[in-house]
Structure 1
Amino acid sequence: MTFIFVIALFTFLVGQNNISISGTVTDAGTRKPLQNATIHLADTSYKTLSQSEGNFSLHVKLYSDQDSDSLIVRFSHIIDVLSWNFNTPAQLRMFALNGDVIFNQNSANTSGSVSTAMFKNAYFIIQIISDKGKYTYKALFINNELFISKLKLSSNPEKLDLDSLYLQKENYYDRTIALDSTSMYDFDKLNIQLLNKQYFELSYFNELIRREAFDMIKSSPPKTNFGEVESIKVIVDSSSGLVYYINSQIYTDHYSFATDMMDYPYSHHKFNSEQYNAGSSRYLYPITLNYFKDLDVYTFEFFSGDGATCSEVEWCYEKILQTSYIKNNLLFYSTNASWDLCKNVPTITPNEIFNNQNYQALNVAKSYGYLRKIDFEKITTESIQKHDIVLTNGVPIDIPVVAGLITTEFQTPLSHVNVLSHNRGTPNMGLRDGFQNPKLDSLLNQLVYLEVSRDSFYIRSATIEEATIFWNSIEPSNPITLEKDTYSRGLIDLEKASINDIKKIGGKAANFAELYKAFNSMNMEAPLPENYFAIPFYYYQSHLEKYGLQTFIAEMINNNDFNSNTEVKKRLLKKLQDSIINSPLDTYLLDLVTTQLLKDKRFSAYRFRSSTNAEDIEGFNGAGLYESFTGKIDDNEKPVDMAIKKVWASLWNYAAFEEREYFKINQQSCAMGILVQRTFGEEDANGVIITINPYNANPAYIINVQYNELNVVSPPPNIINDEVVIYTFSILGVEPYTLEYNSYSNVYPNSTEHVMTKEELFTLAEYVTIIKQHFFINVYKCNCSYSSYGLDIEFKVDSQVSPRKIYIKQVRPY
């Protein structure tokens, strides 16, 4: 096609042409045609109504309006080449709608040309600069026809509001459709959906045309490791090109939707094996679309075991952009290291989400208590009561029995204070703006009701009547007297002990004995720290009786001032501890222990670990309540006898005493044994595992692991662990487990390595599986399913004996 036309300055539109804009209007939720919707071409008098089948057509006449100006511009468009002539030298530049330069005639000339092959059905901006001024035009190519309109004078091209269609219908949200090259529409084949303001039955949308549509189908996220998140499920269908935004309030998994609404004919197993795999049978892409309130961003993610390639990830990204209102606010959340190579899609990391979150749910629960704001530095000196809900600007290592905990620093899910909260059944949450939060400020020192849920929290003032009813219903009321054997003497060979020996050596040592049995039953070498044994209760009890401390304990516990005055209680407990430590250790016991330590010449330093009958047992976890100490052979700075006595004395730590009081444990029935094992010096890594998945229903282990000996359960401020979800299945069947990272260690921020390799994590998962199966069947019987059976396991990665050997350090009920 060839045509020549002339533009004079202030020309409005050149050419005697018509544009036809036509299509159909349908309901976004029912996909049925809509009649009597108004379609209006913005800033013109052109409008029409949709007909009974939803169809409409607008015929727009374009016209010429010239005047006499001295600058004359002649354009010609011949076979994909746009040429121009000026009556005076001028420079011509062309811009995309976002301001990017796409053509620049560097010097002033009276003529020039450019190929228009790239401009099929596209808008762009033409700017002409001459000694008579600077003039800007908007150009549109449609079906090889060129239309040019004069714009307002502008010194710089800028992003423009485009010509658009405006649609309205009663009881529907208005909608504007931009008629530009980035649109998914052809001008003569428009299929425009409108969103009803209310649906009584709604299964899905094929377009997510505005925020209200997202709100209609959103639900809580399928995994809950982040707070204040809204979520919907999505399936992208490569066979039809359609995107299905699923009503996630109705469909809790992708497979159910695929069978109900997409006529997927096969089993759930086949769906998982084919539609999460990069094979030839795949045509569906199950996705989760999340909105993070704190960041005001949307993310899309695949299941971490999905076999999607980077090109498939990028294609799904483009499909969501084309069919949703989200546009430039969409980021890819990668949960699998293989997707870190996907460079053509904007991404967000777990750490970026974590660092920008304001709310973190740790232990989901509800409670009543007095909201108290306590500076972290004073947490150990303040008088804290069991009916206090403590708001503090840090993460304490432990905290006395309280009704709830709010920290302004985020915690690890396996921190001691969270394990204690889990054991107590009290709410625990992180809130970064907690010390400046107006809602919390308005309720300080008042009796409140606090409810922590996975994606938000609720707090209000409460009455003493409702609080009292609640406290009476949940607090322990029946006294507990623990069984203890103070007659068995001699060091205990843990390879011959069992869980039945809690009454003799305490929970930690008895559980350790079961670790040996778990691996021995599989004919495997137990991955346990070398040269382990236990010191039974007998020697602790003998130490107390020898120095009259048993009598001191009885008198202390019956002292009215001790029971009514916190400061008196702390002072007398400290006096008891000092007496235990300062009284000489029985030389016979010291000789026994030293002889055993010398049996393994590889190690000179040993860890003496608390093991009471009120610790690491069902119904009383006791995480962090007692202390462990290192003793070294022939070392005056860390002598073995002092390590033993310090462990014994830790039975009477104030926090431990108060925890036992809360659970109505008879204090005089408690005793301290000691688990002894070689200590670790500069280990490669250390970590904690729980054997249940607190984030979603899929069976998994949750691992927090950190480099070297950096504290995992109470990390320093601003330090993040590797947190890995190890799903105990693999959809693709290639590997035994599926790894998903919730956060990455930031200790070495420039490193591309994880704290543990994939192979090491798989080995660790095998160890955990052996332990969980043994304890579930043989040790702690619970009225629960295997998947919900929780154990708390500590481990080390150490190279002293062999390179990066994994050791299981301890296990206890979670």
Structure 2
Amino acid sequence: MNAGIRLLSVNMRSLVVLVLAAGVGLGLAGLTAVAAGAPVGANEVVARRAVRPLAKPGEVAGRIESVHTIESAEAWAKMAARPASQTVARTEVVKFLLDRETGRTLWFVDSERYDMHYAFAAEKLSTLRRPVESHAVFNVREYRREDRRFELGSIVHYLDGDLWTLEMIGGDTLAGEKVLALYQQLRGALWIGDRLRYRPLSGLHEELTKAVRDKLAVVSTEEVFAGVKYQPLTEGKACGYLRIVRGALEPGSVRPDQILVLEQLPEEIPVSAAVISQPLQAPLGHIAVLCAGRKTPNMGLRGALDYADVARLEGKLVELSVGPQEFGLREVSLSEAETSWKQRRPSEALIPKLDRKPVKLSDLKELSLYDADFAGAKAAQLAQVGRLGKEVRTPGGFVIPMAHYLKHFRATGAERCVDGLLMDEAMLVDVAGRTARLAEARALIETKEVDAELLASVHAKIQATAPTAKWILRSSTNAEDLAGFSGAGLYRSVVVKAGATPEQLAKAIREVWASVWLAGAFEERSWYRVDHRRVAMAILAQPFVDGALANGVAITANPFTEGRPGFLVNVQTRGGSVTGAHGDEVPEQVLIYTYSEDVESEVLARSSRTGGKAILSEKQIAELAKVLGKIHDEMRPRWGGTVNAVDVEFLLAGEDAHVVIVQARPYTVNYGAGRRLE
């Protein structure tokens, strides 16, 4: 402490006594603010935490609190954290701060204790001469402005691929030549030396470092992804019989008491206890979304069939634990498993809302969220999105209400067939018998003529709206896209060619109606105790968005941590699969942060179809963020309960690649320990 600071401390002693006597412990930085005439609240986080003098680098309780260099793997281990909030599992992280005002002093910090750069700066580097500002001001200045005091980032060790990277938040605007100087200084301060590589996390980073790219040892997102072996998708624990599925999965063979180890990703998956897939999954792919909605533990594990524990425990009753950094398998007793199964299944019946009266073909623009009981949740929710103004586009279309399905269901005899199935107790255990009865019901629906008056109305509506376009007839039941019951993929949608005849339309309508009684839909509804007799199908008829440049899925939440709000987006080029269910196809995966006015994004993976090139430009990311924000603000409060996000499906269409929203449904991100905002 120099003489000037010592004198100020002595002169302020009486003020300290007065403050403490009043029961308010401001701390040194808070007192500095008072002495300077600043409002007491202007530095409230610093005032609460910066009460200790700056310590020399050293060990604290077996950990190393801070050092200027890391000279061994042992020292690294005493500083590294394995945070649950990482976007890639099996990672170790050490945060660093470079202080420009003290001759470019590097500080590597205990990243378990200091999980934010700000926490260390406020507690350890705030001085009377230059106090660290409030958290909000710090975040703007130190990541985005040229007059920053600190250069901030993390050293990340990807354990699966044994990669060491320098990473900065996606919105950091540090200029390329400064990134290069920082990188070179870090290499000299770490025992790994030239093994350190720079990983640009966003298009902004790639642009800023373009001029110095040849001087940086860069690791691409593709290289990081290629090294990943373990991928947690839905965290949690579940018990079941471990079943290895070699080749394609036969959906009818799946039981709720099975933990599936899949050699291939299926297009659909019935209710199971848990899922381990040998291929990694698209985070918002169909299987991942289904498992998330069901709260079914789900993970990807490259080489899963060759893992010793998997082979050893095949056929046995086990507990699978899927965590943010690791997973575990252990053998369990039947009593443990039965307790787990009882807790997983809903205890109360779900009674779908149903209005049998409306029969008019209603344009989507005439409907709202509150028409779901006759238009189905899919149509009603998309109609509500369509009310958000010109910035949020949908394909439009019209709805065939549920009353027409119910009339056809009765007239064909399918209703009697289903009633017989539901009253036959033998069918509770006879899977083959149930499947046969359901096939009989579908056949009755698909062979009976559609009401002639309805068919004429549908044909006329299409001719008046878009006669030269293909159309898609989409399922819209009262037992899908609900808060607490997603039902994603249970029912069928059918595309009809341009200029389709009434007979061709009738065939498509019957196929959509019949899908209410697909075996997979019936079994999932049964598990969730949905009242089958109340389930009905409306049809959302829409002009097909032909020639879309890309298709995508987004959830309006950051599934990796509640502490950094954002949107997770998966997008794939035309002809590709955004679900990631085909071979090793990988969609582009972008995390768009929403906690500041400036759009900040992080690229988690590039599309396997583009050779490393971006599908979404920075401008498109900003436009998409605006649309998703509007949908989130409009829809999430209307669902209430535990729903904290919207699951959105979209297309990029037209020469300007504008966003077209084709679906919006409730979604709940279940944040595990370490991911929650405590």
Deviation at residue 513 of structure 1 after TM alignment:
1.5
- State how many pairs are aligned: 601
> For residues 720 and 525 of structure 1, do their structure 2 counterparts lie closer, same or farther at Cα, with a shift above 3 Å needed?
closer
Deviation at residue 540 of structure 1 after TM alignment:
0.5
Query: Retained in 2: the 8 A contact 1:516–1:526?
Result: yes
CA distance in 1, matches of 2:217, 2:494: 49
CA distance in 1, matches of 2:160, 2:138: 35
- SS of the residue corresponding to residue 554 of structure 2 reads strand
CA distance in 2, matches of 1:756, 1:498: 31
Q: Whose RCO is larger (CA < 8 A, sep 6+)?
A: 2
Aligned to 2:107: 244
1:317 aligns with 2:176: no
The aligned amino acid for 2:81 is S
- SS of the residue corresponding to residue 203 of structure 1 reads strand
- SS of the residue corresponding to residue 240 of structure 2 reads strand
2:545 corresponds to which of 674, 680, 684:
680
Deviation at residue 242 of structure 1 after TM alignment:
2.0
Aligned to 2:228: 357
Aligned to 2:68: 206
Aligned to 2:634: 774
Query: Retained in 1: the 8 A contact 2:467–2:499?
Result: no
CA distance in 2, matches of 1:570, 1:226: 41
CA distance in 2, matches of 1:285, 1:634: 62
Aligned to 2:135: 268
The aligned amino acid for 1:686 is N
Higher helix share: 2
Deviation at residue 729 of structure 1 after TM alignment:
4.0
Matches within 5 A, 1:356-395: 356-381=227-252, 383-395=253-265
Aligned to 1:795: 650
Aligned to 1:620: 485
CA distance in 1, matches of 2:635, 2:282: 25
Deviation at residue 471 of structure 1 after TM alignment:
2.0
CA distance in 2, matches of 1:489, 1:766: 36
Deviation at residue 553 of structure 1 after TM alignment:
0.7
Larger radius of gyration: 1
The aligned amino acid for 1:718 is D
- SS of the residue corresponding to residue 658 of structure 1 reads helix
The aligned amino acid for 2:653 is D
Higher strand share: 1
1:345 corresponds to which of 173, 198, 216:
216
Aligned to 1:477: 347
| Gap regions ≥5 residues in structure 2 | 1-55, 668-678
CA distance in 2, matches of 1:290, 1:245: 12
- SS of the residue corresponding to residue 348 of structure 1 reads coil
CA distance in 1, matches of 2:435, 2:311: 31
The aligned amino acid for 1:269 is A
TM-score (ref. length: structure 2): 0.85
1:328 aligns with 2:194: yes
Aligned to 1:739: 601
- SS of the residue corresponding to residue 810 of structure 1 reads strand
The aligned amino acid for 1:809 is V
Range with greater deviation from structure 2 (736-745 or 234-243): 234-243
Deviation at residue 739 of structure 1 after TM alignment:
1.8
2:363 corresponds to which of 480, 483, 493:
493
Aligned to 2:281: 411
Deviations 1:239-292 (A, max 9, x none): 33322111111111100110101114211122122211351x223111111111
Aligned to 2:44: none
Deviation at residue 322 of structure 1 after TM alignment:
1.5
> For residues 294 and 597 of structure 1, do their structure 2 counterparts lie closer, same or farther at Cα, with a shift above 3 Å needed?
same
CA distance in 1, matches of 2:467, 2:420: 46
CA distance in 2, matches of 1:379, 1:211: 48
1:554 aligns with 2:419: yes
> For residues 562 and 807 of structure 1, do their structure 2 counterparts lie closer, same or farther at Cα, with a shift above 3 Å needed?
same
> For residues 200 and 434 of structure 1, do their structure 2 counterparts lie closer, same or farther at Cα, with a shift above 3 Å needed?
closer
Aligned to 2:659: 806
Deviation at residue 715 of structure 1 after TM alignment:
4.1
Query: Retained in 2: the 8 A contact 1:684–1:708?
Result: yes
Matches within 5 A, 1:689-704: 689-696=554-561, 697-704=563-570
CA distance in 2, matches of 1:201, 1:723: 35
> For residues 525 and 702 of structure 1, do their structure 2 counterparts lie closer, same or farther at Cα, with a shift above 3 Å needed?
closer
Aligned to 1:720: 586
CA distance in 2, matches of 1:578, 1:714: 32
The aligned amino acid for 2:240 is G
Deviation at residue 636 of structure 1 after TM alignment:
6.4
Deviation at residue 440 of structure 1 after TM alignment:
0.9
Aligned to 2:41: none
- SS of the residue corresponding to residue 232 of structure 2 reads strand
Deviations 1:53-100 (A, max 9, x none): xxxxxxxxxxxxxxxxxxxxxxxxxxxxxxxxxxxxxxxxxxxxxxxx
Query: Retained in 1: the 8 A contact 2:418–2:437?
Result: no
Query: Retained in 1: the 8 A contact 2:171–2:601?
Result: yes
The aligned amino acid for 1:464 is L
CA distance in 2, matches of 1:305, 1:714: 28
Query: Retained in 2: the 8 A contact 1:633–1:640?
Result: no
CA distance in 2, matches of 1:375, 1:299: 36
Deviation at residue 337 of structure 1 after TM alignment:
2.2
C-alpha RMSD over aligned residues? 2.1
2:144 corresponds to which of 277, 292, 296:
277
> For residues 223 and 299 of structure 1, do their structure 2 counterparts lie closer, same or farther at Cα, with a shift above 3 Å needed?
farther
> For residues 624 and 714 of structure 1, do their structure 2 counterparts lie closer, same or farther at Cα, with a shift above 3 Å needed?
farther
The aligned amino acid for 1:207 is T
> For residues 791 and 194 of structure 1, do their structure 2 counterparts lie closer, same or farther at Cα, with a shift above 3 Å needed?
closer
- SS of the residue corresponding to residue 295 of structure 1 reads coil
> For residues 448 and 261 of structure 1, do their structure 2 counterparts lie closer, same or farther at Cα, with a shift above 3 Å needed?
same
Aligned to 1:765: 625
Deviation at residue 695 of structure 1 after TM alignment:
1.7
Aligned to 1:431: 301
Query: Retained in 2: the 8 A contact 1:371–1:389?
Result: yes
**% same residue:** 27
Query: Retained in 2: the 8 A contact 1:278–1:309?
Result: no
Deviation at residue 767 of structure 1 after TM alignment:
1.2
TM-score (ref. length: structure 1): 0.71
CA distance in 2, matches of 1:200, 1:225: 28
Deviation at residue 485 of structure 1 after TM alignment:
1.5
The aligned amino acid for 1:795 is F
CA distance in 2, matches of 1:417, 1:507: 21
CA distance in 2, matches of 1:758, 1:393: 36
1:575 corresponds to which of 434, 440, 446:
440
Deviation at residue 473 of structure 1 after TM alignment:
2.4
Matches within 5 A, 1:8-87: none
Deviation at residue 560 of structure 1 after TM alignment:
3.5
2:410 corresponds to which of 545, 568, 588:
545
